[in-house]
Structure 1
């Protein structure tokens, strides 16, 4: 099969076209013919960061899988050849990657493709949806009437988080950096937008909450400023973040008695802990898509399997508006 392979860690130009043996599904696995994949910030970090959680070199990267089941391994009962499936089940240590024509994945991580979405939209969903779901549904348990602040509501995780919070019945505010991104956030369902370059945390907390603070704050930016999240939360509130690999002063968290949740959705794949929950999340996400409550926004640029290096460079340049999708099968290329 054709793949995009890396033999060393580094810049996007480390990708090279290669032909390798098509994998066979082991016990509990599916062999999926890939129709589309996506590019996430973690994919670029895996490409550059080295062997900590990346596959052993030479490696095929790519976490998000969307395709058709070609074969099933021993013990698989919930899927059969011909099923359309999707999931975040690839591209890290111990798992083959999605940047190829086929990939063998653990069935527990997978769900049936949402009927309401096309293949390209389906490929954009898994990693970002599971991340936002773990933050807002599993950990902070957003409930109807909660006032939720999402940092980065026009970003990859953020625009999904806005929709999930709305689906939970919350009132949603989000930080953005421009009028164009404010428009995106509103289209996703945000009730209130905040240009963080023009308005301080104290000012928007006063304007939107009367000084009380938000019930839940979700930092979906991947940045390194947890302080603004602490400042935005109410006393006894909750904060969730997708990046906590830096030194920060936790005093404001202590003085407000806040609860802090760190979200790293790849933990389950790396450690084999509760993999079936990811499949359950994606099955529920398909239901939200059917109810017109969840739909990813796609970047307008198109990339094929031979363009993976350009797709990574496009994301790292900050030029993407919406999720970047890799068209692999003809079903995606003709959309």
Structure 2
């Protein structure tokens, strides 16, 4: 038996229950992991509330796609892992099939990476989703390179902070966008070349001024909704608006026609474009591990909760005041 977070109906953080659930042996292609820490992501709150890109297929439902821990057992056909190996689980599966909000969890081996030496459990649960998302969208898919400018919305999120560091590492110029001045200095300290306070100034006007009227080669947006009209106006000719989230919860218009049909690329992105493609995941793992090794990358942990505080962790995430990653440390 293992303490496992489940929910029996859609709703807010109050629907989360910590229950004793049996855990069997891993099947073909699977690993049994002793979970030491869990990375909390917005996708899990959306899944819990029925607002994610997929809905729970059955109840009780499980949660969680990012964690760190130690391999306890190896399923048939799995190679490259052995009991006792420190690992991280990355979001490479549906939460309808697997969940890591638990003391012990079965996960697909294809979604497990060796945890680099020197990376403890909490940081091992905070590093992969942010950096895989930022690298995957901007470098692997977008082709960001030295000299490019990238505008980052929700810049104080774990993905936003990772994107600042990824941009810096390839020689690009990160411009962070944040709603108030409360987080501006912390974003500059994290490496943002400039900070746009969207509650006080327009993104388009500020970005065009900062780039000599050219605009940004990339806008990396977690918000979507009607604000894409403003963001698209800040994109350079031939540039790309990448949307990896929909925090606004509002319909997202296509801005091309309203803006006079500029040379605008616009696409959505999820981390699973990287985590479910072995070649892309291999390149991403090498890029992130290299950055961790030379100090260019660092997991940004905002606050750590206990497993019995999972509902509080979700409430804290939904309040939106964090700078970096929320992690749940699992007690054994």
Q: What's the secondary structure of 1:47's corresponding residue?
A: helix
Q: What's the secondary structure of 2:233's corresponding residue?
A: helix
User: Paired residue for 1:259?
Assistant: 265
Distance 1:43 1:135 in 2: 20
Structure 2 residue 302 is matched with structure 1 residue 296: no
Q: What's the secondary structure of 1:76's corresponding residue?
A: coil
Distance 2:116 2:131 in 1: 13
8 Å contact kept, 1:151–1:175? yes
Distance 1:307 1:323 in 2: 16
Task: Give the C-alpha shift of residue 320 in structure 1.
Answer: 2.6
Structure 1, unpaired ranges of 5+: 331-335
1:249 to 242, 246, 254: 254
User: Paired residue for 1:160?
Assistant: 162
Greater Cα shift, 70-79 or 199-208:
199-208
User: Paired residue for 1:135?
Assistant: 137
Distance 1:164 1:246 in 2: 29
1:253-332 aligned within 5 A: 255-266=261-272, 273-274=276-277, 277-278=280-281, 280-300=283-303, 302-329=304-331
User: Paired residue for 2:235?
Assistant: 233
Distance 1:118 1:222, change over 3 A: farther
Q: Deviations over 1:42-88 (max 9, x none)?
A: 11001011793436321221111211011111121121111111122
Task: Give the C-alpha shift of residue 254 in structure 1.
Answer: 6.6
Structure 2, unpaired ranges of 5+: none
Distance 1:86 1:118 in 2: 10
Distance 1:311 1:127 in 2: 18
Structure 2 residue 31 is matched with structure 1 residue 36: no
8 Å contact kept, 1:110–1:278? no
8 Å contact kept, 1:90–1:97? no
Q: What's the secondary structure of 1:320's corresponding residue?
A: coil
8 Å contact kept, 1:27–1:75? yes
Distance 1:68 1:276, change over 3 A: farther
What TM-score, normalized to structure 1? 0.89
1:142-181 aligned within 5 A: 142-181=144-183
8 Å contact kept, 1:90–1:105? no
Distance 1:176 1:170, change over 3 A: same
Task: Give the C-alpha shift of residue 267 in structure 1.
Answer: 6.2
Q: What's the secondary structure of 2:125's corresponding residue?
A: helix
8 Å contact kept, 1:89–1:95? no
8 Å contact kept, 1:152–1:220? yes
What TM-score, normalized to structure 2? 0.90
Q: What is the count of residue pairs matched by the alignment? A: 326
Greater Cα shift, 169-178 or 228-237:
169-178
Task: Give the C-alpha shift of residue 8 in structure 1.
Answer: 1.3
Q: Deviations over 1:277-328 (max 9, x none)?
A: 446523432221111111122223x311111111111111223332111000
Distance 1:197 1:138 in 2: 32
Asked which structure has the greater RCO (Cα within 8 Å, sep 6+), the reply is: 1
